[in-house]
Amino acid sequence: MKNYLFLSQILVSIFLIVSILLQKRGTALGSVFGGGGTSYFTRRGLEKKIFWATCIFGALFIILSLLNLIL
């Protein structure tokens, strides 16, 4: 049982990393140095699905981490 939790946590963490890397930001670090980053946009289509997938993978990762700690 513990091995399955451990392997599923590894898989979820890989999916979480990939979903975070797939999200794009307009200026990235440019806004830190005073670049334009004042525009706001809403997520639509695939961006919205990737955002929600990231939220779900993050929640799954936290749940699996707590289960690994308890068990």
pTM for the whole thing?
A: 0.74
Tokens 């200026």 locate to 27
Of the pLDDT bands very low, low, confident and very high (cuts 50, 70, 90), residue 23 is confident
Between 7 and 44, the higher pLDDT residue: 7
- Which percentage of the chain shows pLDDT scores above 70? 76
**What is d(CA 39, CA 47) in angstroms, rounded to the nearest whole number?**
17
- The rounded distance, in Å, linking the Cα atoms of 11 and 25 is 25
